[in-house]
Amino acid sequence: MSSLFEALEEKGFQVEFRSHAKAILGSDFPEAATELVEALSTTTIPIEEIIAGGGGEAKGTQRLRRALTKLRWRKMQFIVEKRINGIPSEAQSHEVDHVREFEGIGRIALEIEWNNKDPFYDRDLENYKRLHADGAISVGLIVTRGRSLHDNMRALVRRFLDERQIQNLDDLREWGYDPTARQRKGIQDRMNRARAPLTFREAFTDKFVSDKFGEATTHWRKLDDRLRRGVGNPCPLVLIGLPDTIVTFDEGKAALAEVEQAEAELEQTESVTTGTVGI
């Protein structure tokens, strides 16, 4: 199993294990580890999806979600219920986007935090802690933006603008981006300021990335902050950071067509594979 994750690291992925998670995966869930590495190794995120989705989580990780769903990592709701003399007295529910279940062995839970507000890490880690304490899961995984992807997002967006020769907001419409009035104003303000005005490409890149991929969103440093504070302990954890090399630039309009088709397919697949487990 070590060689599996080493192959990911060679591709630029960040991989970190907590509370014996590596040993648990290797001894009890080698199939899950193989599936996870397979899905991550073959998944790409077209830059067109990032632009068209306005940085949004759903479009940014559609391919990875579809790959996991096909490998039976399905959405699952856990209901933890307390009973007194057989009568329900209290119940809590926890929904996890991807769960791989192995009969007679246990379950692996996985959340993808591509681009949410960073408090979602607290939710995920506390859910994992409770579910592990209740015997519902053996390991919790979080896949998020790695350091290189977060730090180089401006360069990726600017490369898209340069290669597509984007000169104004009208040019962006054909790539699925339609800014709000506030975003338009933010771009114009940067271009029209008296001191050090920016070109359109500079202004758009600055506004888009600061709005959509700012420091208060889900990325590796914010996750590491939680881990250093012990959030989620003692649940065994696997943390995986997506590298900037996962972003592709050669798919063009075909990527936008795939987005529309994939959204419908993923919604239909999830409606079939969503499960509920009572603990």
Please give the share of the chain, as a percent, with pLDDT higher than 90: 72
pLDDT in tens, 157-193: 999 999 999 999 999 998 988 899 999 999 999 999 9
CATH code for the part of the protein at 2-61+99-269:
3.40.91
32 and 25 Cβ atoms separated by less than 8 Å: yes
Give whichever of 41-55, 163-177, 259-273 has the largest mean pLDDT.
163-177
97 and 75 Cβ atoms separated by less than 8 Å: yes
Q: Assign residue 196 a region: left if phi > 0, alpha if psi is -120 to 50, beta otherwise?
A: left
The pTM assigned to this predicted structure is: 0.90
**How crowded is residue 125: how many other Cβ atoms within 10 Å of its Cβ?**
23
Q: Which residue has the tokens 């709000």?
A: 180
* Whole-angstrom distance, CA of residue 114 vs CA of residue 153: 13
Minimum mean pLDDT range among 7-11, 66-70, 205-209, 250-254: 250-254
Cα-based angle 73, 75, 80 (whole degrees, multiple of 5): 115
Minimum mean pLDDT range among 42-56, 173-187, 215-229: 42-56
Residue 4 has pLDDT above 60, yes or no: yes
Please give the pLDDT value at position 81: 82
Please give the pLDDT value at position 74: 95
| Mean pLDDT value of segment 53-72 | 79
Residue 1 has pLDDT above 70, yes or no: no
Res. 37 pLDDT band, cuts 50 70 90: very high
Question: Which has the closest alpha carbon to 70: 279, 278, 262, 276?
Answer: 262
* Whole-angstrom distance, CA of residue 251 vs CA of residue 76: 33
